[in-house]
Amino acid sequence: MKKITIILSCIILFTTSCNSSKETKKGEKTTTSKYVTESHSYAQPNAAVVKHLNLNITVDFDQEVISGSANYSIENNNATEIILDSKFLDIQKTEADGKETKFALGEFDKHLGQALKITITPETKNITVYYKTTNKTEALQWLKPQQTADKKHPFLFTQGQAILTRTWIPIQDSPQIRVTYEATVKAPTGLMAVMSAENPKEKTKNGLYHFKMEQPISPYLIALAVGDVEYKAISNRTGVYAEKSMLAKVHTEFSDMEKMVTTAEGLYGNYAWEQFDVIVLPPSFPFGGMENPRLTFATPTVIAGDKSLTSLVAHELAHSWSGNLVTNATWDDFWLNEGFTVYFEIRIMEALYGKERAEMLALIGRQDLEDELISFKDSPNDTKLKLDLKDRNPDDGMNSIAYDKGYLFLRTLEQTVGREKLDAFLKNYFNSHSFSTMHTEKFVTYLNNNLLDKYNITFNTNEWVYKPGIPSNQAKIESDKFKNVELTLQDVLKNNSANTEATKEWTPQEWVHFIRNFPKNMEIKHFEMLDNTYNLTNSTNSYISMVWFEQAILHNYRGHDIDDKIEQFLCNVGRRWYVTTIFKAYVKSSKKEEAINIYKKSRANYHSVTSNTIDNLLNYSQ
């Protein structure tokens, strides 16, 4: 009897301490649970949950295998098994409190992988999994020296978001779970290992590295890179890692990083992670950037030489609040990570470089959103902020809706309540939910209680969040610079002559806007004239190249050896957004055969995230 009372009061205490009765997504089942049900993890964290990871691994470049053990302290609610997520891992042995114990792997699902069920007792406090990665691993990309900047040493990096961490560490791979971690990594001598943790600034002689992440983070944020990189500080808490031949350029490009952190802190409160560094990876990295805590991973395609693409750093930095501190509870709530981050990013850019630059960024996003709405015209449910990605790859939610509709929601909210009130609200929001997770319903309640009802403001939040499309009260984004670009474009087309006076001072964003707005019926002679004047086929700005190549393909422009240039670009750069935009242009203009011929050559250079997307786009199977 006494025991039952204790258990009951524990449950009550547990429940009230996390407001869970209001948090529920699907009603009664979760009313007494801390964690919501979610469709992209097999874990049952309400029964037993991992709290601290001690990772001990060897990185073997010859075999292209990571092997070792993942040891966890667990919080055990009287469970007799603990379930981890695992995909394409070779599980060798499991232990509970140091003694070998049974495990079983569940049925394989192409997105989720397998449940790894480990037998424990209600008293178990600690488990260990001995494992190896396999050649099917999706998180890891093993690069040959030829794929790096310096071409001398191999390179390895991981990409965990959204559900790939389970392909290199057996773990409860749900964003609502948080772990602190420490790691011991054995790398080949001569290479440096870095993680989303406290990092070395020099190589060690024996290739052995120890890491500590003392703040609890979601599993998708555990990251590792191993390569011949060096560190150069920008300030006492910011700096860059890059290969030797890139280090100086990267350092100059990102020299405003300390100012960015200070500006961000001025907006929404102190930076919680002590150190903010960026590592510039080889060009096959599938994203622009990835906000791994303390160490953002970034593509070299943003090193333009003129700081024109550094809003990416502002974006990843902003995730230190929206995403890493307050984390989307499930991938259906992804807009809470990305929409808030785009808003925050643009605010940082505005504070540092002025309204004009910020409005250009916002307007580029607005056009991306318009394009995305068209691409989703047959699946309106995908244009809701709150998604339902059950039985789908959470990557399907990584599109302009979460980013740019999410931004537009906050921007419209700002216009409605005023910047001062929104800023105070956001600062409190981050502060009061730090190191915890957020789902859409909980956010809407918090918004009502702490902003809208508080000031008696009417706002159509539900329409924005739960309905498809863009509500009619959307904020209008305007840029005089872009209006000018549009006038110049009309003028250039009418006269078929470049206007070098008008374009003299253009920033890459203005060029991007100019090129993206070429009319459907633009003629080859216009492409030739522009290419002769501005040498756009050989632009050194990757963003300009991408949109120019896209238009060239759509309009069948073949001058200036552009076909070779496009092929080179696609064989070198693996950034999914760029690669997809270009391959889509081939498909859209009925040149799929050409696309497949290039893809046959470029595919081997891509990380699985990119090759999976392009395989689907081109219906390609190896």
User: What Cα–Cα distance (Å) separates residue 492 from each residue in 87, 416, 497, 547, 600?
Assistant: 54, 39, 5, 18, 38
Q: How far is the CB of 104 from ligand BES (least distance, A)?
A: 30
Contact 17, 148 (CB under 8 A): no
Contacting residues for 517 by C-beta, under 8 A, at least 6 apart:
485, 486, 489
Tokens standing for 136?
């099917």
Interface residue with ligand BES, options 68, 207, 283, 288 (CB under 6 A): 288
In this structure, which amino acid lies at residue 47? Answer: A
Q: Are strands 238-243 and 229-233 parallel, antiparallel or unpaired?
A: antiparallel
251 is a contact residue toward ligand BES (CB under 6 A): no
Provide the b/e sequence for 365-381 (b: ≥16 CB within 10 Å): bbbbbeebbeebeeeee
Q: Cβ 304 to ligand BES, closest distance in Å?
A: 14
Instruction: Tell whether residue 327 is a contact of ligand BES (CB under 6 A).
Output: no
> Of 170 and 323, which CB lies nearer to ligand BES in the complex structure?
323
In angstroms, how far apart are the furthest CA atoms of the chain?
A: 90
CB of 340 to Zn ion, least distance (A): 10
CA distance 240 to 277: 5
Cis before 162? omega within 30: yes
x/- binding map, residues 315-354, to Zn ion, per CB under 5 A? Answer: -----------------------x--x-------------
By beta-carbon proximity to ligand BES, the closer residue of 166 and 319 is: 319
Smaller CB distance to Zn ion: residue 315 or 603?
Answer: 315
- DSSP letter (8 states) at residue 148: S
Q: How many residues bind ligand BES (CB under 6 A)?
A: 14
Residue 283 touching ligand BES (CB under 6 A) = no
Question: Using CA of residue 165, residue 171, residue 172, residue 178, what is the dihedral sign?
Answer: negative
- Which of 315, 386 has the CB closer to ligand BES? 315
Binding mask 338-377 for ligand BES (x = CB under 6 A): x---------------------------------------
What's the closest the beta carbon of residue 155 comes to ligand BES, in angstroms? 19
Q: Does 289 bind ligand BES (CB under 6 A)?
A: yes
CA angle 257, 259, 261 (to 5 degrees): 70
261 binds ligand BES (CB under 6 A): no
Give the end-to-end CA distance of the chain in Å, rounded to a whole number: 63
Give the residue carrying structure tokens 């990409």. Answer: 159
At closest approach, how far in Å is the CB of 257 from ligand BES? 15
| Closest separation in Å from C-beta 336 to Zn ion | 11
What element of type H or E holds 60?
strand 48-60
Options 59-67, 144-152, 311-319, 440-448: segment touching ligand BES (CB under 6 A): 311-319
- Concerning whether 316 is annotated as a catalytic residue, the answer is yes
Per-residue x/- mask for ligand BES, residues 422 to 461, rule CB under 6 A?
Answer: ----------------------------------------
**In terms of DSSP H, where are the helices of 448-561?**
461-466, 480-495, 500-503, 508-516, 524-534, 542-555
Active-site residue among 403, 557, 586, 599? 403
Q: Give per-residue burial for 290-308: e unless 16+ CB within 10 Å, then b.
A: bbbbbbbbbbbbbbbeebb
Name residues contacting Zn ion, limited to 92-131 (CB under 5 A): none
Are the C-beta atoms of residues 227 and 191 closer than 8 Å to each other? Answer: yes
* Residues with Cβ within 8 Å of residue 255, at least 6 apart in sequence: 234, 307
The yes or no reply on residue 312 touching ligand BES (CB under 6 A) is yes
Q: Which stretch binds ligand BES (CB under 6 A): 113-121, 193-201, 288-296, 437-445?
A: 288-296
Tokens representing 368?
């991306």
Catalytic residue (choose from 253, 316, 359, 372): 316
> Among Zn ion, ligand BES, none, what does residue 162 contact (CB within 5–8 Å per kind)?
ligand BES
Pick from 577, 586, 599, 606 the residue near ligand BES by CB under 6 A: 577
Length of the chain: 622
**In terms of CB distance, is 320 or 440 closer to Zn ion?**
320
Please tell me whether residue 287 binds ligand BES under the rule CB under 6 A.
yes
What residue 174 binds from ligand BES, Zn ion, none (CB within 5 to 8 A, per partner kind)? Answer: none
Q: How far is the CB of 454 from ligand BES (least distance, A)?
A: 31
Across the strands, what pairs with 194?
Answer: 225
Interface with ligand BES, residue 398, by CB under 6 A: yes
For residue 52, give Cα distances in angstroms to 114, 353, 477. Answer: 22, 41, 45
Among 315, 405, 439, 481, interactor with ligand BES by CB under 6 A: 315
**Residue (94 or 320) nearer to ligand BES, CB:** 320
Comparing CB distances to Zn ion, the nearer of 343 and 586 is: 343
CB 52 to Zn ion: min, Å:
27
Torsion of CA 594, 600, 606, 611, to 10 degrees: 80
| Residues annotated as part of the active site | 316, 403
Residues in the site for ligand BES, rule: CB under 6 A?
Answer: 161-162, 287-291, 312, 315-316, 319, 338, 398, 577
Residues in the site for Zn ion, rule: CB under 5 A?
Answer: 338, 341
